[in-house]
């Protein structure tokens, strides 16, 4: 029986599919972007022979991992790059993804670097600045994934870097590079090639916090390992974080520092987010869990009288809603009147304090600034503040205490509520 041909139309800008043609895409609003698309031609949809194998007939070969030689980074990668695996490295544009990859593959055998964003000479410039040998890195500017298979069979690379998924495309299907459909289809092709040729593929994907460039997130379910490089471009600290790993833990993080000569591993990051301003009014120290790692982190607050209109509450690295709640609790339960005070909060190193464990340190930093009185030296605080003003114990309490202790910090945890804490520490 003849299969009924079903033609669809795909917007080459946003990748949305339609059953009929129109001059303008009704989703993204672009003109003349709808192209006829024959699903039969889609590479991921070619028919395969349907074969089955009994589960016991599969052999278990322990996966070989290629170590990069960077201990912290290998840990995040689950002990190295597994042969035949696909890794997605996501992060904001300019955060250091290309820099990191160039550094870690320099000592690896047979690397194929597909560079759609930078020319070969730009990569060379970066390699020179990073003092890399580059002797095993071959660069290609060819971004048509359809031609990748022949390159693999010809050069048999051990590692392929695709920088970035937003610049590659598959000429066999509709859509321009960067469109959703191209990201998805290219991801599928890369996954198939990785398995077929047992080559490790690292895909770079630009993702923004606001989610404006969220395309690569579509690939998260498809790839084997998802790693994000996080940080704030105005600070030098970076956190490399595993969010998915089919071959290892997902609780791993590494703290890196963007320096003159590229990214440096911080071997003992426990004290990296502390600063010299400990003991100045407005500074408080907390212990945050990043993955399975406790980090001591300085939180700074500044309060100033409001000069016009509503008081301002501004925060870098701490949730603004949470800040408003803490200010509410301080006002109502502890009688600290902040109604005519602007409040600013900043977390050291561009870090994000997403945990409620930071509540107490935030509250203490605010009151410390407001009263212009320093908190005790070398003391760390971690407790969640309830709406009633009560202090609640947080998860991984022991780990936090241990790290603080290692770094010579005292811990004050046995306060019942915020009133008691303020009275004892500050008032
Ligand atoms: P890059 O790796 O190009 O970011 P991405 O690939 O994630 O877009 O990093 C770009 C930034 O890193 C750039 O603003 C300059 C800075 N940088 C350093 O500070 N030191 C270095 O040694 C290098 C190579 C880059
Ligand atoms: Mg880059």
Mean pLDDT of the chain: 90
Whether this model's pTM surpasses 0.95: no
Q: Is the pLDDT of residue 129 over 90?
A: yes
pLDDT digits (tens, 9 = 90+) for 66-123: 999 999 999 999 999 999 999 999 999 999 999 999 999 998 999 999 999 999 999 9
Q: Is the pLDDT of residue 42 over 60?
A: no
Phi first, then psi: give them for residue 126, nearest 5 degrees. -65, -45
Q: Are strands 200-206 and 159-163 parallel, antiparallel or unpaired?
A: parallel
Walk across the sheet containing 34-37 and list its strands: 17-18, 8-11, 34-37
**Region 31-56 average pLDDT:** 72
Using CA atoms, how far apart are residues 168 and 205, in angstroms rounded to an integer? 11
Closest ligand to C-alpha of residue 92 is 1
Q: Is the pLDDT of residue 4 over 60?
A: no
H helices of 130-217, where? Answer: 148-155, 180-197
Closest CA to 168 of 153, 188, 196: 188
Q: Long-range contacts of range 169-172, CB-CB < 8 Å, 24 or more positions apart? A: 169/143, 169/144, 169/145, 170/43, 170/144, 170/145, 170/146, 171/144, 171/146, 172/41, 172/42, 172/43, 172/146
Walk across the sheet containing 237-245 and list its strands: 137-140, 111-115, 159-163, 200-206, 86-91, 225-231, 237-245, 253-259, 262-265
pLDDT digits (tens, 9 = 90+) for 304-322: 999 989 999 999 999 999 9
CA of 119 to the centre of ligand 1 (A): 15
**Region 31-43 average pLDDT:** 70
pLDDT digits (tens, 9 = 90+) for 248-259: 888 899 999 999
Of 9-23, 190-204, 336-350, 405-419, least confident by mean pLDDT is 9-23
For ligand 1, atom 12: residue with the closest CA: 96
- Please report the pLDDT score of residue 421 as a whole number: 95
- Please report the pLDDT score of residue 413 as a whole number: 74
**Region 170-182 average pLDDT:** 86
Tell me which of 50 and 345 has the higher pLDDT. 345
State which of 89, 95, 99 you would mutate to test the pocket of ligand 1, scoring each by most atoms of that ligand within 8 A of its C-beta.
Answer: 99
pLDDT digits (tens, 9 = 90+) for 358-378: 999 999 999 999 999 999 999
Tell me which of 202 and 251 has the higher pLDDT. 202
Q: Which residue has the tokens 């030689």?
A: 69
Q: Is the pLDDT of residue 401 over 80?
A: yes
**Region 54-77 average pLDDT:** 86
Q: Which residue has the tokens 């598959």?
A: 170
State which of 89, 94, 236 you would mutate to test the pocket of ligand 1, scoring each by most atoms of that ligand within 8 A of its C-beta.
Answer: 94
pLDDT band at 47 (very low <50, low <70, confident <90, very high): low
CA of 93, closest atom in ligand 1 = 8
Q: Is the pLDDT of residue 324 over 60?
A: yes
- Please report the pLDDT score of residue 48 as a whole number: 67
- Please report the pLDDT score of residue 40 as a whole number: 58
What CA–CA distances, in Å, run from 392 to 239, 288, 395, 398, 417?
A: 28, 15, 10, 14, 8
Q: Is the pLDDT of residue 12 over 50?
A: yes
pLDDT band at 1 (very low <50, low <70, confident <90, very high): very low
Q: Is the pLDDT of residue 383 over 50?
A: yes
Positive or negative, the Cα torsion across 90, 94, 96, 97? positive
**C-beta of 131 in contact with ligand 1 (< 6 A):** no
**C-beta of 182 in contact with ligand 1 (< 6 A):** no
Tell me which of 8 and 340 has the higher pLDDT. 340
Using CA atoms, how far apart are residues 115 and 106, in angstroms rounded to an integer? 15
List, in sequence order, every beta strand (DSSP E) within 223-325. Answer: 225-231, 237-245, 253-259, 262-265, 283-290, 293-305, 313-316
Using CA atoms, how far apart are residues 354 and 395, in angstroms rounded to an integer? 13
- Please report the pLDDT score of residue 296 as a whole number: 96
Using CA atoms, how far apart are residues 390 and 369, in angstroms rounded to an integer? 22
């Amino acid at each position: 029986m003849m299969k009924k041909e079903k033609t669809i139309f795909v917007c080459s800008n946003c990748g949305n599919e339609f059953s009929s043609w129109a001059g303008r895409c009704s989703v993204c609003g672009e003109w003349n972007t709808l192209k006829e698309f024959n699903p039969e031609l889609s590479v991921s949809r070619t028919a395969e022979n349907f074969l089955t194998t009994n589960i016991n007939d599969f052999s278990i070969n322990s996966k070989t991992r290629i170590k990069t030689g960077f201990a912290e980074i290998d840990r995040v990668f689950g002990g190295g790059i597994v042969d035949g695996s696909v890794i997605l490295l996501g992060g904001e544009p300019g955060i250091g993804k290309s820099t990191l990859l160039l550094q870690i593959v320099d000592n690896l055998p047979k690397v194929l670097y597909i560079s759609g964003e930078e020319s070969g000479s730009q990569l060379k410039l970066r390699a020179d600045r990073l003092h890399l040998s580059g002797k095993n890195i071959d660069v290609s500017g060819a971004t048509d994934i359809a031609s990748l298979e022949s390159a693999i069979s010809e050069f048999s690379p051990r590692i392929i870097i695709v920088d970035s998924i937003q610049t590659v495309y598959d000429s066999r299907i509709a859509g321009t590079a960067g469109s959703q459909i191209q990201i998805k289809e290219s991801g599928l092709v890369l996954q198939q090639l990785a398995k077929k040729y047992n080559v490790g593929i690292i895909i770079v994907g630009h993702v923004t916090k606001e989610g404006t460039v969220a395309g690569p997130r579509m690939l998260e379910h498809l790839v084997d390992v998802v790693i994000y490089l996080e940080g704030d471009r105005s600070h030098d600290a970076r956190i490399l974080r595993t969010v998915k790993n089919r071959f290892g833990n997902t609780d791993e993080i590494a703290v890196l520092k963007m320096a003159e000569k590229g990214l440096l591993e911080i071997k003992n990051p426990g004290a990296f987010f502390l600063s010299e301003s400990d003991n100045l009014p407005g500074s408080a120290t907390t212990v945050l869990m990043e993955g399975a790692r406790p980090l001591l982190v300085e939180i700074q607050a500044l309060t100033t009288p409001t000069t016009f209109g509503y008081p301002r509450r501004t925060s870098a690295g701490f949730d603004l809603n949470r800040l408003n709640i803490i200010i509410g609790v301080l006002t109502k339960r502890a009688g600290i009147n902040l109604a005519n005070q602007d409040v600013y909060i900043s977390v050291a190193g561009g870090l994000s304090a997403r945990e409620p464990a930071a509540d107490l340190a935030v509250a203490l930093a605010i009151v410390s600034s407001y009263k212009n009185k320093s908190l005790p030296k070398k003391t760390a605080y971690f407790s969640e503040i309830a709406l009633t003003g009560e202090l609640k114990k947080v998860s991984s309490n022991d780990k936090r205490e241990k790290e603080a202790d290692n770094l010579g910090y005292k811990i004050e945890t046995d306060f019942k509520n915020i009133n008691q804490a303020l009275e004892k520490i500050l008032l």
